[in-house]
């Protein structure tokens, strides 16, 4: 089960109703952070989450509303005597921008910070992977995929018996090694187990205008968090953002299970945005507010920690 916690759901600037982008992925005992806009530390405190559980921060791009909360996290971690390293990931120029950012003021981190510049990459972390993919935003920018590893099916007693075998200690060896020899026959794990269970897949676009890479990386996702800054093209003008209807069209083409419309511009009230979304989106969607939580597993469950 993966918990997707929306700590900031608006874009461009914070207001009294919602903060700027930050999404926490709570997976077992770990918290992964996608973007870290100004005020994210305050949102963590309200949500009763600990910054000390974060080892990885993935920044989509270096516009202020997506990264200016980083310094307060690093200073707080230092004051709390953090010892283990923090890993920061982002697009081209991440190393330069983070180094310049950390040199400002009179404070220095009391622990190691490792900075990773990514293109399109597939990073493996035990039971899950994070994929990065390029999006269109006028500056170097990435979207991210959380992909839990598929889990093997359970042992199928009927399959075992059809092979003339008896359940026993050989099953532990098979589970560990993937194959085992019994009476001169090679038995593979898939010969005696049920259908594998697909791991959870969640996609976050960051800021982008509609693009084919989003559709490709979002195919069959359990949840697509797609920026939908504006409610129509006239409002967008020449900016590199998406509208509500464009986000819905991408979700439909990618056959995702659920779409979350994200990064609402401050010019709209929540009610105005919802009304427009219901008019133009004929796909299954939600409009999360700050502190909403989606539990993604077999299906999904929506709640709030406000």
Q: 188 among the known binding-site residues? A: no
DSSP structure string for the chain: -EEEEEEE-B-SS--SS--S-EEEEEETTEEEEE---TTHHHHHHHHT--GGGEEEEE----SGGGTTTHHHHHHHHHHTT--S-EEEEESTTHHHHHHHHHTSSS---SS-EEEEE-SS-EEEETTEEEEEEE--SSSS-EEEEEEEPPBPPPB-HHHHHHTT---STHHHHHHHHSEEEETTEEEEGGGSB-PPBPPPEEEE--S--S-HHHHHHHTT-SEEEEE--BSSHHHHTTSS--BHHHHHHHHHHHT-S-EEEE-B-TTS-HHHHHHHHHHH--S-EE---TTEEEEEESEEEEEE--
Q: 65 among the known binding-site residues? A: yes
Q: 63 among the known binding-site residues? A: yes
Catalytic residues: 65
Q: 207 among the known binding-site residues? A: yes
Annotation: binding site for Zn(2+): 61, 63, 65-66, 137, 207, 263
């Amino acid at each position: 089960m993966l918990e997707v916690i929306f700590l900031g759901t608006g874009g461009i600037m914070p207001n009294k109703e919602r903060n700027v982008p930050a999404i926490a992925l709570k997976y077992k005992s770990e918290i992964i952070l996608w973007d870290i806009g100004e005020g994210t530390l305050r949102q963590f405190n309200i949500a009763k989450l600990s910054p000390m559980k974060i080892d990885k921060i993935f920044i989509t791009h270096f516009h202020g509303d997506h990264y200016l909360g980083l310094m307060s996290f690093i200073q707080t971690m230092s004051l709390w005597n953090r010892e283990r390293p923090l890993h920061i990931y982002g697009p081209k120029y991440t190393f330069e921008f983070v180094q310049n950012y950390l040199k400002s003021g009179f404070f220095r981190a009391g622990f190691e910070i490792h900075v990773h510049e990514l293109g399109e990459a597939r990073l493996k972390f035990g039971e899950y992977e994070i994929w990065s993919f390029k999006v269109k935003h006028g500056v170097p920018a990435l979207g991210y995929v959380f992909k839990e590893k598929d889990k093997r099916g359970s042992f199928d007693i009927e399959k075992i018996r059809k092979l003339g075998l008896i359940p026993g200690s050989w099953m532990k060896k098979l589970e560990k090694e993937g194959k085992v020899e019994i009476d001169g026959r090679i038995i593979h794990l898939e010969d005696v187990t049920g259908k594998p269970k697909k791991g959870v897949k969640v996609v976050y676009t960051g800021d982008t205008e509609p693009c084919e890479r989003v559709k490709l990386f979002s195919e069959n996702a359990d949840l697509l968090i797609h920026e939908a800054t504006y409610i129509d093209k006239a409002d967008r003008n020449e900016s590199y953002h998406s509208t509500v209807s464009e986000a819905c069209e991408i979700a439909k083409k990618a056959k995702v299970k659920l779409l979350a419309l994200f990064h609402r511009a401050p010019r709209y009230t929540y009610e105005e945005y919802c009304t427009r979304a219901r008019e133009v989106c004929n796909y299954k969607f939600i409009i999360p507010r700050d502190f909403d939580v989606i539990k993604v597993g077999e299906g999904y469950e929506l709640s709030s920690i406000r």
